[in-house]
A = this chain, B = another copy of it.
């Protein structure tokens, strides 16, 4: 088939060991090294990674398992991870689970079989639990979602603070009846809900939270229901961008003007949140920092397997746009 190290050795008139040394590290004379390189060129030799990995017992690879590759948050983090890994001479196996625990299980098994050096993942709630009960036997760093406390190195947005910031902002703009819509499949939704609840309590306001599947359609029906209630909310907060999109669509479908009839705020500063009219107020996550920090935690863990578990919280940035403009009290509300 393709040329092996033996073919190169033959072509260069040296032993396979010498070729290996010329390609990698090891004592070798400059003359022979050049000779070998020439033979490599002549034969079109490409090292066989499978053989290399088998012999050296290290894959030189880390796994990156993301919940939704269509979500700019994850692609952004993924880019940063890949970049950091590449600089460290590591390859990345990228997998997409679409929030499906079955696919998560498949990929986790794959990572073991690939003998990856370490793993960065954004797990669903059930998989995080399962992982805590049955460790994989390899270094794991969680991103975006917290697992059981104290079990995994993780790098997260300070979700509670971010939700709180949104609530504070809305209250500051004059809104009082603020509802919250949260995804129910990940720990992140729960944390953001908790932050929302705490902030509302701090302001002496009643929380109104709904938990739904993280899908556009789910948010649409949820908002329709909220708007049909006796005292509909003046503002709604969504815990991720899909839900926020659903809110926008449903508000428009219901003929509500934004922000006059209904203010909206959410998470993730995707390009469309700016292009839409009015622009949507969102929490922007530090994607690159999250990715880089995840790699840092992973490296540290590899270096010190028994070091205490670390949980890094990065804070988001509140990007204020028209969807949460100061509330203009309706001209005349009888009663």
Contacts and interface: CB of A to CB of B under 8 A. Distances in A.
Interface of A: 1-2, 46-51, 53-54, 57, 59, 69-70, 72, 75-76, 78-79, 82, 91, 93-94, 96, 109-110, 112-115, 137, 245, 248-249, 270-272, 275-277
Q: How many identical subunits does the complex contain?
A: 2
Contacts of A69: 69, 75, 78-79
B53 A50 contact: yes
A190 to B, nearest CB: 26
Contact of A275 (B47, B50, B272): B272
A104 to B, nearest CB: 14
B271 A113 contact: no
Given A96-B82, A137-B2, A114 B49 contact: yes
A96 B245 CA distance: 27
A313 B58 CA distance: 43
Contacts of A59: 50
Nearest to A274: B249
B93 A93 contact: yes
A182 to B, nearest CB: 21
A57 B271 contact: no
11 contacts: A1-B57, A46-B112, A46-B113, A48-B115, A49-B115, A50-B54, A51-B54, A75-B75, A91-B110, A272-B276, A277-B277
